[in-house]
């Protein structure tokens, strides 16, 4: 009988916080079987509470699979329980809250941030097009003032899409995808991103402008700025007061960049301005927040990122990256330490 080499599978495990329901929401049963064809997966979900009882197997683990609810391990825990770990495949977006101890030990972090960017960008572009038409203000006015008032306002005072200036704050993964999608529409793009190189701007076909220029000139401004200590509170009254009388501010990024009382003040001063917010700070938006009293503020409960069928895309991205990792190929969605400061 001819000799046949037995395939050796890398050993892996799922990691998620105790009682989290997100892990198998993203990695459904069919997808889990696909991952099992590539690596040997430990049957028990690992969290901080069961590290010690599973330590003998964990010493062999080379691959962690996770999503929302990933545990934040200390460096000491990684050294003790995961000495052979090579990569973490995170089927969700930002890894900022847990990634650094892994990266400092040479463990690769691969995130489905590219997959997460798709539904957020689609959602955002839809809101931009509606805002340019005056849809949100017209919808609010229709309830209070009737058909004629709202119809005339939308059709006579809002520009629509043709040649309209749209501001994009942040040209990271999501902002860049929004820019590319808007190329299908006849809008003039103004981008603010201090991290954007001239080469990237050229590749996107855009130019970098100041925040003041974007807020003063654009009909609609969409926030995708990275969420870090330097960006907290950077969008304030000085900027919101520059907005056109009927301009719209859209936030599908993070709420912490916005000084919310300043935004509310600018909206009260010009009632045809509006804010379309999928995120606030804190979140959820408190019941007594001034935003709920303003007819030109439209809040959704942080739904841009995914719908039920879309979460599978994130696992699919990670499966493709895992196959590439095993084959020794260059990974498309690997995260580095410098990238952490620019991620949402």
| pLDDT one-digit tens code per residue, 217-257 | 999 999 999 888 899 999 999 999 999 999 999 999 999 99
pLDDT computed for residue 341 by the predictor: 78
pLDDT at 1: 44
Q: Which residues contact 294 (CB under 8 A, 6 or more apart)?
A: 264, 267, 268
Residue 8 has a pLDDT of 74
| Contact criterion met (CB below 8 Å) for 271 and 248 | no
Express each pLDDT in 146-194 by its tens digit. Answer: 999 999 999 999 999 999 999 999 999 999 999 999 999 999 999 999 9
- Mean confidence (pLDDT) of the chain: 95
Find, among 46, 76, 75, the residue nearest to 60 by Cα: 46
Q: What is the distance between the alpha carbons of residues 282 and 259, in angstroms, rounded to a whole number?
A: 11
23 is written with which tokens? 């892990």
**How far is residue 291's CA from residue 297's CA, in Å, rounded to a whole number?**
6
Tally of helices (H runs) and strands (E runs) in the chain:
15, 12
Helix (H), strand (E) at residue 169: strand 164-169
Q: Taking 70 as the threshold, does the pLDDT of residue 5 lie above it?
A: no
Tell how strand 297-299 and strand 274-277 pair up.
Answer: parallel
**Is pLDDT of 259 > 70?**
yes
Q: Write out 246-288 in H/E/C secondary structure.
A: CCEEEECCCHHHECHHHHHHHHHHCCCCEEEECCCCCCCCCCC
Separation of alpha carbons 112 and 335, rounded Å: 10
Q: What percent of the chain has pLDDT over 70?
A: 98
Over residues 47-71, the mean pLDDT reads: 98
pTM recorded for the entire structure: 0.88
Alpha-carbon distance of 205 to 112, in angstroms, equals 25
**Residue 87 bridge partners (DSSP):** 63, 108
Domains belonging to the chain, first-starting first, are 10-115+308-340 (3.40.50.720), 116-299 (3.40.50.720)
Taking each helix axis as running N to C, give the angle between helix 135-145 and helix 113-132, from 0 to 180 degrees, rounded to the nearest 10. Answer: 50
Q: What is the pLDDT of residues 285-333, one digit of tens each?
A: 999 999 999 999 999 999 998 888 889 999 999 999 999 999 999 999 9
pLDDT at residue 344, as a whole number: 66
Q: Residue 297 corresponds to which tokens in the numbers above? A: 């503020």
Give the bridge partners for 275, in sequence order: 249, 297
Q: Over range 259-270, report the average pLDDT.
A: 99
At residue 2, the pLDDT reads 52
What would the mean pLDDT of 65-77 be, rounded to a whole number? 98
Residues in the chain, overall count: 344
Residue 6 — pLDDT band, cuts 50, 70, 90?
very low
Burial of 65 (0-12, 13-18, 19+ CB in 10 A): buried
């Amino acid at each position: 009988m001819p000799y046949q080499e037995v395939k050796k599978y890398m050993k892996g495990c799922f990691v998620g916080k105790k009682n989290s329901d997100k892990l198998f929401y993203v990695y459904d049963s069919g997808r889990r079987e696909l991952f099992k064809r590539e690596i040997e997966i430990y049957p028990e979900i690992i969290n901080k509470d069961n590290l010690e009882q599973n330590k003998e197997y964990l010493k062999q683990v080379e691959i962690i699979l996770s999503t929302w609810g990933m545990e934040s391990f200390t460096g000491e825990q990684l050294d003790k329980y995961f000495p052979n770990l090579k990569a973490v495949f995170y089927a969700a977006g930002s890894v900022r809250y847990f990634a650094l101890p892994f990266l400092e030990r040479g463990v690769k972090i691969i995130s489905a941030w590219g997959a997460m960017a798709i539904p957020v960008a689609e959602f955002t572009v839809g809101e931009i097009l509606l805002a340019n038409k005056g849809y949100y203000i017209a919808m609010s006015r229709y309830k209070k003032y009737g058909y004629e008032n709202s119809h005339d306002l939308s059709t006579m005072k809002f520009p629509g899409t043709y040649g309209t200036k749209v501001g994009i704050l942040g040209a990271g993964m999501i902002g860049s995808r929004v820019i590319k999608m808007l190329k299908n529409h006849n809008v003039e793009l103004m981008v603010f991103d201090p991290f954007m190189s001239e080469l990237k701007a050229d590749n996107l076909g855009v130019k970098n402008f100041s925040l003041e220029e974007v807020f003063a000139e654009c009909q609609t401004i969409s926030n995708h700025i990275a969420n870090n200590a330097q960006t907290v509170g950077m969008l304030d009254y000085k900027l919101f007061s520059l907005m056109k009388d009927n301009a719209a501010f859209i936030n599908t990024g993070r709420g912490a960049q916005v000084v919310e009382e300043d935004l509310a003040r600018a909206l009260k001063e010009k009632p045809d301005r509006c804010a379309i917010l999928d995120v606030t700070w804190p979140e959820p938006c408190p019941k007594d927040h001034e935003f709920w009293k303003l007819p030109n503020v439209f809040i959704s409960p942080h739904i841009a990122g995914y719908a039920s069928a879309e979460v599978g895309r994130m696992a699919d991205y990670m499966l493709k990256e895992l196959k590439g990792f095993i084959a020794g190929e260059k990974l498309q969605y690997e995260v580095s330490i410098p990238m952490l400061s620019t991620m949402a």
